[in-house]
């Protein structure tokens, strides 16, 4: 099966997923091109290999080259959910100690924030606001409004990634879409909203995307500043 690639942003990190065979030729070239295009603006990469069922020597070689290339760009590439078959290949070639690997995407994302506490590479660890909203356009708008107000923001468009970032970044405030905020039909949703309750929460109304942009932005900032002024939000 040819290698199929996808990617999404989880906060400051790009998760690249592969499905199929990582072998010499177009497959290895496509992966190399996909990761290289992220540099230099998004040099923090998690490569999810859960659905990669075969790797040859060229595939291993491209992993090593990408690891070196990303490091040279001031970032870091890690692997996650590596299949037993590929894990054995990395063990036999003794590359398992050179290529950081984690059991899950959540573990890999969290490791960036843990590593940044002691490592020398430049990774943005400050997080004032976590915003979780399904609408991509609304998410971009909220992020830019808050960034222009001097706040450090990470974003996700679903509760799975939102929970990962909530646990990894420890934000001061959570901005969340109304539909997601009212969702408690899964363990992820229930846990996300329960943990958010311990922080400052600003709920985006369902009408946010269709409101006058200026009015919506001013109202958002007003509500964020109001929550930020709460005793349990300000201070260390």
Indicate the domain borders of the chain: 4-116, 129-228
The one-character DSSP state at 80 is E
C-alpha 139 chain-centroid distance: 14
- Rounded to whole angstroms, the Cα distance separating 51 from 191 reads 27
Fold held by 129-228: Rossmann fold (3.40.50)
pTM of the full structure: 0.87
pLDDT tens digit sequence for 100-118: 899 999 999 999 988 887 7
- pLDDT, residue 232, reads 43
E strand spans, the chain: 4-10, 13-22, 44-55, 76-80, 101-102, 129-132, 153-156, 173-177, 200-204
List all residues 6 or more positions away from 183 whose beta carbon is below 8 Å from its beta carbon.
159, 189, 193
Assigned superfamily of 4-116: STAS domain (3.30.750.24)
- Rounded to whole angstroms, the Cα distance separating 68 from 62 reads 10
Cα torsion through 146, 209, 180, 183, rounded to 10:
150
Specify the residue for token string 């001031």.
74
Cα torsion through 225, 13, 110, 50, rounded to 10:
140
pLDDT tens digit sequence for 107-162: 999 999 888 877 666 788 889 999 999 999 999 999 999 999 999 999 999 999 99
Q: What is the mean pLDDT of each run of 10 residues along the chain (236 residues)?
A: 90 94 91 89 93 91 92 92 90 87 95 80 86 94 94 95 95 95 91 94 93 94 87 44
- Rounded to whole angstroms, the Cα distance separating 111 from 94 reads 22
C-alpha 24 chain-centroid distance: 29
- pLDDT, residue 40, reads 78
């Amino acid at each position: 099966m040819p290698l199929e690639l996808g990617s999404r942003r989880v906060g400051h990190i790009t998760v690249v997923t592969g499905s199929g065979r990582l072998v010499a030729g177009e497959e290895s070239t496509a992966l190399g091109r996909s990761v290289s295009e992220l540099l230099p603006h998004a040099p923090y990469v998690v490569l999810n290999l859960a659905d990669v069922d075969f790797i040859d020597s060229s595939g291993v070689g491209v992993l090593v080259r990408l690891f070196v290339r990303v490091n040279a760009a001031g970032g870091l590439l890690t692997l996650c959910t590596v299949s037993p078959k590929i894990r054995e290949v990395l063990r036999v070639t003794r590359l398992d100690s050179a290529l950081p690997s984690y059991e899950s995407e959540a573990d890999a994302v969290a490791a960036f924030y843990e590593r940044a506490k002691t490592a020398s590479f430049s990774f943005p660890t400050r997080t004032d606001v976590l915003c979780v909203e399904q609408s991509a356009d609304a998410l971009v708008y909220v992020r830019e409004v808050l960034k222009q107000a001097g706040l450090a923001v990470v974003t996700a468009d679903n509760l799975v990634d939102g929970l990962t970032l909530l646990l990894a970044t420890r934000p001061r405030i959570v901005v969340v879409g109304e539909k997601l905020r009212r969702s408690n039909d899964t363990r992820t949703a229930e846990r996300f909203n329960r943990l958010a309750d311990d922080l400052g929460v600003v709920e985006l109304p369902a009408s946010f995307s269709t409101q006058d942009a200026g009015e919506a932005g001013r109202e958002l900032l007003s509500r964020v500043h109001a929550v930020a002024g709460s005793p349990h939000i300000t201070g260390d």
